[in-house]
Structure 1
Amino acid sequence: MADISRWDPFAELNSLQRTLFGDSFSSGLRNSTSPTTDVYSRDGAIVVETHLPNFKSDEVDVDVDGRTLTITASRKKREEDSDRKYVVRESSSSFQRRVTLPEKTDTDKIEADLSDGVLTITIPTPDAKSSKKKIDIKTPNEIASEEEEIDRSE
């Protein structure tokens, strides 16, 4: 019986990265300091949740340009940090996340709330039922009879 193995197109690339940079290169990519973001639909709205622990509302900006929602968070140096000598400081990072919104969103009614380290952005969407339309499929006989009616009316 023949052995079937699954081909991984990135296995060679991963091996090359480990050879050149060691395991620290790939582990650094996996442990990115980028905030986690969830996007889902609920109650006629698109909801974007971004986890921004220890950020204050004045350190976070939410912008919409066309269909692109941009979340930017930039931590300012705080007075309580002046007596600390950091070896590694990931909490002072700046983050930016972009989300492409569906075509039918009401960007004038966007609401944002930052509480317990979670930024929740709610973007209303029009009722999907109102845009649904049933299309009738005509047979060749129906098309011919419609054309005859048009000819008679002219």
Structure 2
Amino acid sequence: MPWDPVRDLLTIQGRLESLFGQATPGWVPPVDLVECDDRYILTIEVPGMERDHIRLEYADQVLTLRGTRPIETCCPERYQQLERGQGQFSRAFRFATPVDGDAITADLADGVLTVTIPKAGGGARRIEVS
């Protein structure tokens, strides 16, 4: 895989977040963050979670993802093995370029939350001369 400074910085950011508290210790859903020419795409695995258990907020150039996967309590004293993450989680994301916080969209389908974060302006556009 070729060297990608943005990917490397995001990897370092994730590690620092886990050290300094932006990611909740314990269960945190896996995340992929891709930078395209005009947007970022954040893909988060949240199987079994419902929309009302997920909250996204954008403020002060930070996108914050919070959620809760309810602890299933059918017969907790009989668990033989418990590997699936449960309980609350929180993640915070900053982006390498300014983004349009008002145009962020999120879609939950088949256990995958896809968040589209458009980049702010900067794109070339034609200006008509009057």
Q: TM-score range by the shorter chain?
A: 0.5 to 0.7
More helix by share: 1
Which amino acid in 2 is paired with 1:37? V
Tell me the alpha carbon deviations over residues 101-133 of structure 1, each in whole angstroms, 9 at most, x when there is no partner.
244211001100111111111011135444xxx
- SS, match of residue 122 in structure 1: strand
Which one of the candidate residues 95, 101, 121 is aligned to 2:115? 121
> Within 1, Cα distance between the matches of 2:110 and 2:85?
16
Q: What residue ranges of structure 2 are gaps of 5+ in the alignment?
A: 1-25, 125-130
Post-superposition shift, 1:69?
0.7
- SS, match of residue 69 in structure 1: strand
**1:67–1:102: 8 Å Cα contact kept in structure 2?**
no
- SS, match of residue 98 in structure 2: coil
> Within 1, Cα distance between the matches of 2:121 and 2:100?
11
More strand by share: 2
Q: What residue ranges of structure 1 are gaps of 5+ in the alignment?
A: 1-31, 131-154
TM-score by length of 2: 0.62
Alignment length (residue pairs): 98
Which one of the candidate residues 42, 51, 62 is aligned to 2:56? 62
Q: Which gives a bigger RCO, structure 1 or 2 (Cα 8 Å, sep 6+)? A: 2
Which one of the candidate residues 54, 69, 82 is aligned to 2:74? 82
